[in-house]
Protein backbone atom coordinates (compact mmCIF):
# COMPACT_ATOMS: atom_id res chain seq x y z
CA UNK A 1 0.00 0.00 0.00
CA UNK A 2 2.72 2.52 0.94
CA UNK A 3 4.99 1.92 -2.05
CA UNK A 4 2.41 2.73 -4.72
CA UNK A 5 1.56 6.10 -3.17
CA UNK A 6 5.10 7.47 -2.91
CA UNK A 7 6.42 6.38 -6.25
CA UNK A 8 3.60 8.10 -8.17
CA UNK A 9 4.81 11.67 -7.67
CA UNK A 10 8.29 11.19 -6.23
CA UNK A 11 11.62 10.30 -7.75
CA UNK A 12 14.67 9.04 -5.93
CA UNK A 13 17.76 11.14 -6.66
CA UNK A 14 20.07 9.46 -4.16
CA UNK A 15 20.22 5.84 -3.03
CA UNK A 16 22.25 4.67 -0.04
CA UNK A 17 22.57 0.90 -0.36
CA UNK A 18 22.25 -1.77 2.32
CA UNK A 19 26.01 -2.29 2.64
CA UNK A 20 26.75 1.43 3.08
CA UNK A 21 27.46 3.01 6.47
CA UNK A 22 27.81 6.78 6.81
CA UNK A 23 29.29 8.37 9.93
CA UNK A 24 28.42 12.06 9.80
CA UNK A 25 25.61 14.40 8.88
CA UNK A 26 23.86 14.14 5.51
CA UNK A 27 22.18 17.04 3.68
CA UNK A 28 20.17 16.41 0.53
CA UNK A 29 17.61 17.74 -1.91
CA UNK A 30 15.10 15.76 -3.95
CA UNK A 31 14.48 12.15 -3.00
CA UNK A 32 16.85 10.19 -0.75
CA UNK A 33 16.24 6.47 -0.21
CA UNK A 34 18.11 4.74 2.60
CA UNK A 35 18.67 0.99 2.74
CA UNK A 36 21.89 1.40 4.76
CA UNK A 37 22.92 3.11 7.99
CA UNK A 38 23.55 6.77 8.85
CA UNK A 39 25.12 7.71 12.17
CA UNK A 40 24.42 11.43 12.07
CA UNK A 41 21.69 13.96 11.40
CA UNK A 42 19.80 13.92 8.10
CA UNK A 43 18.50 17.22 6.72
CA UNK A 44 16.52 17.71 3.52
CA UNK A 45 15.99 20.90 1.54
CA UNK A 46 12.77 22.74 2.45
CA UNK A 47 11.32 22.18 -1.05
CA UNK A 48 7.94 20.40 -0.78
CA UNK A 49 9.13 17.68 -3.19
CA UNK A 50 12.05 16.74 -0.96
CA UNK A 51 11.57 13.46 0.84
CA UNK A 52 13.47 10.86 2.84
CA UNK A 53 12.49 7.24 2.41
CA UNK A 54 13.93 4.66 4.84
CA UNK A 55 13.39 0.99 4.01
CA UNK A 56 12.86 -1.72 6.62
CA UNK A 57 16.63 -2.37 6.45
CA UNK A 58 17.57 1.30 6.86
CA UNK A 59 18.53 3.05 10.09
CA UNK A 60 19.28 6.63 11.11
CA UNK A 61 20.92 7.35 14.45
CA UNK A 62 20.32 11.10 14.64
CA UNK A 63 17.60 13.62 13.98
CA UNK A 64 15.73 13.81 10.69
CA UNK A 65 14.50 17.08 9.20
CA UNK A 66 12.71 16.86 5.85
CA UNK A 67 9.38 18.05 4.45
CA UNK A 68 8.28 14.46 3.78
CA UNK A 69 9.43 11.32 5.59
CA UNK A 70 8.47 7.79 4.57
CA UNK A 71 9.70 5.37 7.20
CA UNK A 72 9.63 1.60 7.34
CA UNK A 73 12.95 1.25 9.18
CA UNK A 74 14.42 2.79 12.33
CA UNK A 75 15.08 6.38 13.37
CA UNK A 76 16.84 6.83 16.72
CA UNK A 77 16.19 10.54 17.11
CA UNK A 78 13.52 13.14 16.47
CA UNK A 79 11.70 13.49 13.16
CA UNK A 80 10.67 16.96 12.02
CA UNK A 81 8.55 16.83 8.87
CA UNK A 82 7.11 20.14 7.68
CA UNK A 83 4.56 18.37 5.48
CA UNK A 84 3.97 14.64 5.88
CA UNK A 85 5.14 11.56 7.77
CA UNK A 86 4.22 8.05 6.65
CA UNK A 87 5.07 5.19 8.99
CA UNK A 88 5.00 1.67 7.57
CA UNK A 89 4.27 -1.48 9.55
CA UNK A 90 7.94 -2.02 10.46
CA UNK A 91 8.69 1.63 11.31
CA UNK A 92 10.38 2.30 14.67
CA UNK A 93 10.90 5.83 15.99
CA UNK A 94 12.86 6.37 19.19
CA UNK A 95 12.18 10.08 19.54
CA UNK A 96 9.55 12.74 19.01
CA UNK A 97 7.69 13.19 15.73
CA UNK A 98 6.79 16.72 14.58
CA UNK A 99 4.31 16.59 11.70
CA UNK A 100 1.56 18.39 9.80
CA UNK A 101 0.03 15.20 8.36
CA UNK A 102 0.77 11.70 9.64
CA UNK A 103 -0.20 8.28 8.36
CA UNK A 104 0.64 5.16 10.32
CA UNK A 105 0.25 1.50 9.45
CA UNK A 106 -0.68 -1.14 11.99
CA UNK A 107 2.54 -2.25 13.68
CA UNK A 108 4.41 1.08 13.52
CA UNK A 109 6.01 2.05 16.84
CA UNK A 110 6.80 5.49 18.24
CA UNK A 111 8.64 5.81 21.54
CA UNK A 112 8.25 9.56 21.98
CA UNK A 113 5.72 12.34 21.55
CA UNK A 114 3.59 13.14 18.53
CA UNK A 115 3.65 16.92 18.06
CA UNK A 116 1.22 18.35 15.52
CA UNK A 117 2.32 21.40 13.55
CA UNK A 118 -0.50 23.73 12.56
CA UNK A 119 -1.00 24.37 8.85
CA UNK A 120 0.70 27.54 7.60
CA UNK A 121 -1.36 30.72 8.04
CA UNK A 122 -4.18 30.90 5.54
CA UNK A 123 -3.85 27.28 4.39
CA UNK A 124 -6.90 25.10 4.66
CA UNK A 125 -6.54 21.52 5.89
CA UNK A 126 -7.14 18.87 3.20
CA UNK A 127 -10.74 17.76 2.89
CA UNK A 128 -12.20 20.83 4.57
CA UNK A 129 -15.70 21.32 3.07
CA UNK A 130 -15.70 25.02 3.97
CA UNK A 131 -12.48 25.82 2.05
- Spans of all domains in the chain: 2-116
Q: How far is residue 33's CA from residue 20's CA, in Å, rounded to a whole number?
A: 12
Q: How far is residue 22's CA from residue 20's CA, in Å, rounded to a whole number?
A: 7
Report residue 98's pLDDT band, with 50, 70 and 90 as the boundaries. very high
Contact 89, 104 (CB under 8 A): no
pTM here is 0.84
Report residue 3's pLDDT band, with 50, 70 and 90 as the boundaries. very low
Amino acid sequence: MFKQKQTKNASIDTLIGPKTRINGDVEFTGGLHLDGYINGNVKGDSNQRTFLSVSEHGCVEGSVIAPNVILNGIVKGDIDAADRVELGAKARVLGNVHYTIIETAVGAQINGKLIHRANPAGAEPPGNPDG
